Structures are given as structure tokens and as C-alpha cells.
């Protein structure tokens, strides 16, 4: 008599591991965590805030010490509490722009970008998330620094022709404009880092675009200066937070549109290279 051996069929057990999907919220959360895990983030943001506040206070104190004396230059004599308090914007933009370059180009330097793109194969959400996260951080830091600098700077110049308060026409708009300008500079830095994939290259182009090229336009004929200078990123940004405008500068709205155009151009170039080139 043969014995039939019944082989017990092993029951199939479904994996208890949850299925993760790449979503915009998760990519944003990842980039947020990566940004604050870097020591350079805290240091550079601190420097940007310090530059914005300290240089504004130094300008206000210098104005206070020279007001009513023959040593004061005519241009300096026309300064206001807003222009004095925002004197440090030119220095803060470098700190925030450089950090923006580091946010993207730093991953290419360390090779971390390969892991990032392996986790997010569609690639472009990585760029949008990095730009959005750092742009928001730079916007908050810039706006906070502008209001703090004005609050203390207006106290220093109180009782002088430059004295102003938050209730004066255009003051709040100028301070918010300074924060928005610094936020967009941070986004441009992020885009340049992704476009050039080099920390040194990104910083060089950033400094040239914000400081070197505007200075070189002074060598051009006057008619060319009037046609070119207002549309440079830094001059468009200054129109955004300037309290008053003249015939040679753009209006705040026009300055914002020009600056947004430069930002979109940098992001478009970074997106094209990210999609077309290997990491």
C-alpha cells in the first residue's frame, strides 16, 4: 500500500512593508531636512542677517554723526531711515546667494545628488523643492532683518531729516520688497548651482551678475547705461525696495517683474540641464 504524502502548501504572506510614493510634500520635507542638517546653513544665514542689521545700523550711526556738518556728502544728506537701514542689503545678498549655490552645487560636489535623483527619478521636483524651500527661508530671514534694521536704525536717526516711522508712505512696502529681493536672490543662487554644478562657478557667476557687471556698466556711454542698467538683477531689486524712484530707475512693480524674469530664466536653464544631463 503506497503512502501518499501530502505536501502542505505554504500560505502566501503579503509584505507588511508600506508602499511609499514620491509626492511633492515628501520631496519638500526631504529638502527641508537636508537644508537644516548642514552647519553652513546656520552660519551663512546668521551672517546674512548680521550683515543686513549691522551695516544698516552703522550707516544710520554715521549719518547721525555727520548730520548738519560740512563733511556730509550731498547724496548722503538725502538719505532716509529706509535707505540707511537697508544699506546692508548689498552684503546680505551675497551671503544668501552663496548659500543658495551651496544648496544645489554642494550635492554635486559630494555625490549626494545621485542618491537624491535615485529617490526622485523625475528629477524636476528636486529642483522646484530646493528653490521653494530655500527661497522661503531667505525671504523670511531677509524680511526679518529688514524690519529689525529699520526699527533700530529709525531710532538712531530720530530727530534728523532722515527720520521716518513704519506709518510713513511706502516704508512697509520697501521693507517687504527688500525681503522679497533677498528671497529671489536665494532662488537665483539655487538655480545657478544646479545649472553650473560647481560651487566655485556658481558663486563666480552670482557675484559677477550682482556686483561686477553693474559696476562695469559705468564704463558704457550714458545712453547705453539708461537702456541696460535698470534691467540688471541688482538694479531691478533696488527699484523693488527703494522708497522713491526717478526717471532712470524702474517702478517697484516693473523691478519685480524684471527680477522674476531673471529668476525664471535661471530656473529654466537649471531645469533643462537637470533633465538632459546625467548626474
Assess whether pLDDT exceeds 60 at residue 66.
yes
Rg, the chain, Cα only: 25
Q: 22 vs 33, which has greater pLDDT?
A: 33
Q: Which of 110, 74, 94 is nearest to 202 (CA)?
A: 94
Q: Using CB atoms within 10 A of its CB, is residue 189 exposed (0-12), middle (13-18) or buried (19+)?
A: buried
For residue 19, the model assigns a pLDDT of 55
For residue 176, the model assigns a pLDDT of 96
Q: Which of 120, 145, 187 is nearest to 56 (CA)?
A: 145
For residue 4, the model assigns a pLDDT of 45
For residue 1, the model assigns a pLDDT of 43
Q: Using CB atoms within 10 A of its CB, is residue 95 exposed (0-12), middle (13-18) or buried (19+)?
A: buried
Q: 121 vs 171, which has greater pLDDT?
A: 171
Q: Is there a contact between 273 and 195 (Cβ–Cβ < 8 Å)?
A: yes
Q: Which of 178, 32, 164 is nearest to 91 (CA)?
A: 178
Over residues 127-163, the pLDDT tens digits come to: 999 999 999 999 999 999 999 999 999 999 888 888 8
For residue 217, the model assigns a pLDDT of 85
Q: 38 vs 197, which has greater pLDDT?
A: 197
Assess whether pLDDT exceeds 80 at residue 205.
yes
- At 67, the pLDDT band (50, 70, 90 cuts) reads confident
Amino acid at each position: 500500500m503506497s503512502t501518499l504524502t501530502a505536501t502542505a502548501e505554504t500560505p502566501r504572506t503579503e509584505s507588511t512593508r508600506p508602499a511609499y510614493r514620491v509626492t511633492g510634500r515628501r520631496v519638500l520635507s526631504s529638502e527641508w531636512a537636508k537644508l537644516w542638517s548642514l552647519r553652513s546653513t546656520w552660519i551663512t544665514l546668521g551672517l546674512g542677517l548680521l550683515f543686513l542689521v549691522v551695516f544698516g545700523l552703522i550707516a544710520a550711526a554715521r549719518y547721525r554723526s555727520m548730520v548738519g556738518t560740512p563733511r556730509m556728502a550731498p547724496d548722503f544728506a538725502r538719505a532716509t531711515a529706509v535707505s540707511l537701514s537697508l544699506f546692508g542689503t548689498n552684503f546680505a545678498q551675497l551671503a544668501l546667494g552663496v548659500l543658495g549655490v551651496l544648496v544645489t552645487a554642494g550635492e554635486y560636489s559630494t555625490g549626494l545628488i545621485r542618491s537624491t535623483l535615485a529617490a526622485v527619478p523625475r528629477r524636476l521636483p528636486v529642483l522646484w523643492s530646493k528653490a521653494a524651500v530655500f527661497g522661503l527661508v531667505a525671504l523670511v530671514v531677509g524680511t526679518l532683518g529688514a524690519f529689525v534694521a529699520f526699527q533700530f536704525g529709525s531710532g538712531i536717526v530720530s530727530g534728523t531729516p532722515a527720520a521716518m516711522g513704519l506709518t510713513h508712505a511706502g516704508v512697509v512696502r520697501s521693507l517687504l520688497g527688500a525681503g522679497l529681493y533677498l528671497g529671489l536672490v536665494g532662488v537665483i543662487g539655487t538655480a545657478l548651482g544646479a545649472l553650473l554644478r560647481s560651487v566655485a562657478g556658481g558663486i563666480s557667476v552670482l557675484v559677477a551678475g550682482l556686483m561686477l557687471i553693474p559696476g562695469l556698466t559705468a564704463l558704457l556711454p550714458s545712453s547705453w547705461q539708461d537702456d541696460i542698467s535698470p534691467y540688471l538683477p541688482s538694479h531691478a531689486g533696488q527699484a523693488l525696495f527703494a522708497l522713491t524712484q526717478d526717471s532712470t530707475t524702474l517702478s517697484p512693480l516693473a523691478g519685480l517683474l524684471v527680477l522674476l524674469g531673471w529668476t525664471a530664466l535661471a530656473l529654466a536653464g537649471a531645469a533643462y540641464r537637470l533633465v538632459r544631463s546625467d548626474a
